[in-house]
Amino acid sequence: MHVRPDNPLIVQGDGKVLLETKHPKYEEVRDFLSRFAELETSPEHLHTYRIHPLTLWNAASSGMSKPEIVDGLRQWSKFDVPPDVLNQVGETIERYGLVKLAQHPDDRKLLRLEFSTAYVAKLVGQVKTVRELLVEDGKRYLAIQAGHRGIFKQRMLAAGWPVEDLAGFIEGDPLRIVPRALMLGNGKPFVVRDYQKKSAERWFQDGRPQGGNGVIVLPCGAGKTIVAIHAMAKVGQKTLILATNGAAVNQWVREILDKTELRADQVGAYTGDEKNIRDVTVATYQILTWRASKDAEFAHLHLFRDQNWGLIVYDEVHLLPAPVFGATAELQGRRRLGLTATLVREDGREGDVFSLVGPKRFDMAWQSLEEQGFIAEAKCYEVRVGWKNGAALTYEKAREGEKFRLAAVNPAKLEVLDTLLKRHVADNVLVIGTYLDQLHEIARRYKAPLITGETPGPQRDVLFQKFRKGEIKLIVVSKVANFSIDLPDANVAVQVSGSFGSRQEEAQRLGRVLRPKANGAHFYSLVTRETKEQEFAMKRQLFLTEQGYRYYIQEGSG
């Protein structure tokens, strides 16, 4: 066995990879690992990654090869990499592309399957859930019905066969979309960043069949809307954009009208308040998944089918609701672009995003963008708060299901919040939480506006606009502000409560303060010490730790 004690990695036989965080090459090796492995735990000195089939297939789709992964593991490992791990990596990553979907040369109702070998074709034919979808295509080929394209890819992925989809796309109604040449308020021209252009190009791939579908992963504040506009311009067809809420829809409409030469009568919003279908239509996930009762039909899913869309954009694609997944399975003939800051889904349906929207086409490390000044330098703090006035005893006596909420709404957090708001009195502060009773109390305490899901859209927009202008320095917000809210001057976020161990929520909340600014950004998470909340806090922080952020532990009151 070769031993290289100065290296930072230990690769275990079960596929776990341990990385020393104090090693001088930590950041370089972390960036290498993050391309094909998932961070599982992140204590201070030793981070644990696990290599998964899906992370390997995303790596393969972005051009990463077996030799690149194997050679890198060997280069950075303290000990010889277990042969079983190397074999598993090789066998898994090389499965991507062994089965391809292609246009049928003679029958538009069919898609032809292309197999790397006859043996692969035999193995696929033995998969029960897939076999029922296969049809004979002459004596030499197999095919599927074109309408089964989505479900075929889902079932194949579940069976361990990631399909490379080269079947191309139906052409939607043409639409000329020209990005506008803009002048900023300081008299300087608006410049599209290189990574924004590159990500759209990687997604489109010059219009080749393997392009035009997939996911672009960029941090909040990195300009994903600009990426989408460039993708729309490349496609040049009628476009449907799906967003998380009404405020996000309005923001998309504003950005498109501001940064393209499209007219106001060409861009419409389709929400609970208005239903304007235009050449570019921006709708909410909520309206598409609305139905009068549990057993009723989804009243607005017809929007997918009624228009000849050439492109569908999924904002915050990691939040896709199940009914939209179902509709997306039917829309495999349309170009699809997913945008997100994190591919993590708390329901474990990352595989469906891969199958139905497409593989990861581009991502960029948060820290890299921070170093280049494209997002704010952020400092993250976990402030640990104790109990007061006998509340600890109440917590200990509570049922397990109640303990997290009790810790989350711990009244002692208000004293810590007092201190933080005095420290940042001159800053633009968001107080973000999950539990409405806690947020109402905070809003009353500081005479601050509160925005929740019940706040009417127009009132929300007025408050956000006042915050942008500096007329309001503090806003208290519920989960509605987790996503797609453009508040470029916010530089401090205080999270008083969260949704259990949601990594995506932690990333999105930090994202509220990542627009570039001179003095950087501060993100505080208030956590009740030695409780269920502290356990979940570690899980919440995993994604950001993988991106290179470090949480500074501070002791609050109690």
At residue 314, does pLDDT exceed 90?
yes
At residue 481, does pLDDT exceed 70?
no
User: Across residues 400-418, what is the average pLDDT?
Assistant: 93
266: confidence class by pLDDT, cuts 50, 70, 90: very high
Q: So what's the pLDDT on residue 209? A: 84
- Which of 467, 492, 491, 485 shows the shortest CA–CA distance to 417? 492
Domains of the chain: 9-93 (no CATH), 99-166 (no CATH), 194-364 (3.40.50.300), 370-555 (3.40.50.300)
At residue 457, does pLDDT exceed 80?
no
Q: So what's the pLDDT on residue 461? A: 81
At residue 176, does pLDDT exceed 70?
yes
- Which of 268, 261, 279 shows the shortest CA–CA distance to 179? 261
Cβ atoms 324, 313 nearer than 8 A? no
Q: So what's the pLDDT on residue 501? A: 65
Give all strands (DSSP E) within 311-460, no chain letters: 311-314, 335-340, 360-363, 378-385, 429-432, 450-451
The whole-angstrom separation of Cα 265 and Cα 288 is 22
Q: So what's the pLDDT on residue 421? A: 95
At residue 239, does pLDDT exceed 90?
yes
Residues paired with residue 259 on neighbouring β-strands, in sequence order = none
Residue 65 DSSP code: -
User: Across residues 149-159, what is the average pLDDT?
Assistant: 95
At residue 253, does pLDDT exceed 90?
yes
Q: So what's the pLDDT on residue 41? A: 74
Percent of all residues in the chain with a pLDDT value above 90, rounded to a whole number? 57
At residue 366, does pLDDT exceed 90?
no
Q: Could you identify the residue written with the tokens 């019940």? A: 454
Torsion region of 184: left, alpha or beta (phi above 0 gives left; psi -120 to 50 gives alpha): beta
Q: Reduced to 3 states, what is the DSSP secondary structure of residue 16? A: strand
At residue 260, does pLDDT exceed 60?
yes
The whole-angstrom separation of Cα 72 and Cα 178 is 42
DSSP 98-143: SEEEEE-SS-TTEEEEEESSHHHHHHHHT-HHHHTTEEEETTTEEE
Q: Reduced to 3 states, what is the DSSP secondary structure of residue 326? A: helix
Residues paired with residue 144 on neighbouring β-strands, in sequence order = 111, 134
The whole-angstrom separation of Cα 354 and Cα 334 is 15
Q: Give the range among 36-40, 160-164, 353-357 with minimum mean pLDDT.
A: 36-40
The whole-angstrom separation of Cα 280 and Cα 270 is 10
- Which of 7, 33, 11 shows the shortest CA–CA distance to 548? 33
442-474 burial, b at 16+ Cβ within 10 Å, e below that, comes to: bbeebebbbbbeebebeebeebbeebeeeebbb
Q: What is the overall mean pLDDT for the chain?
A: 89
Number of helices (H) and strands (E), helices first, in the chain? 23, 23
Q: Give the range among 127-141, 441-455, 465-479, 501-515 with minimum mean pLDDT.
A: 501-515
291: confidence class by pLDDT, cuts 50, 70, 90: confident
